[in-house]
Amino acid sequence: MAYLLERDELLACLSEVGVAAVVGMRKAALFPGDRKPRVTRGFEHLQARDLARKDESGKLSLHPELLAMADTVAHPGLAIALTRDTPALPTQIVVWHQKAARIVEHALLTATVHRWDAVDTLDTVLGRLLRSMDVREVTGVAPVSVAMGQGAFEAFGQLAQQGKAREAEARIEAAGLVGRPAQRIVQAWTKPLARCAVAIFKLAGTEITDARQLVVVQGLEGLWLVTQEPAGSGPLRVETASLALVDGAMRKALVELKALV
């Protein structure tokens, strides 16, 4: 079942489970200066929706399913965060939180509205993640790839975002890719139709014990995947991508984190 929650309602839910941090939310949003009255107001709204009821002592208690969801969002062992940026829309953030067998999808729909939805398996999560990316394969172009050190790739990205296409192309050429393929990469980073960053965290309490990241960029002339091998220290690999390749990269990351077999 899915629940739409206003920010005050969300704060009330999380106050019941001893939250310290939530993947995908800023600390200031989770602990505003007026948090106490907002939590009280949130419980009142939840009570009006029959999602919180008073017990024999008069204390308000959450609906059991909503309480279990709050516990999963506040204390996951695994979190998969998607951040999607496009030129015309606000940044979209969706996070999947897993604790034991329970998975909760947390979508930040607006600055003040959230959606929690129960998800059955990580396979379902991967399917939803690909749909949330809303990217498409580009056919009829030759597959290419290039490996770059992290510093060189960051310099290339900054030049592309500044609109310095020729300087950015020179960075790609220095990595060994020239001609039209290099221009296609530069075009995608200079004027992306969509940029999707996926971060997968393994957690113990609030501590991140391991992580994997990948980026998918939609250009006019190609879909691109950025991965790092070995994770955290190796060169970055930029390659033309298919949806199957993106799915495979996410599955590989989950297997490495021992979250998927």
Q: Where are the domains of the chain?
A: 2-133, 145-256
- Among the listed residues 90, 156, 126, the one whose alpha carbon sits nearest the alpha carbon of residue 253: 126
Q: Are strands 194-204 and 207-219 parallel, antiparallel or unpaired?
A: antiparallel
pLDDT in tens, the chain (261 residues): 899 999 999 999 999 999 999 999 999 999 999 999 999 999 999 999 999 998 878 788 899 999 999 999 999 999 999 999 999 899 999 999 999 999 999 999 999 999 999 999 999 999 999 999 999 988 888 889 999 999 999 999 999 999 999 999 999 999 998 999 999 999 999 999 999 999 999 999 989 999 999 999 999 988 999 999 888 888 999 999 999 999 999 999 999 999 986
Q: Which amino acid is at 161?
A: Q
What Cα–Cα distance (Å) separates residue 241 from each residue in 82, 143, 147, 181, 231? Answer: 18, 8, 15, 13, 19
Type of residue found at 129:
L
pTM of the entire predicted model? 0.94
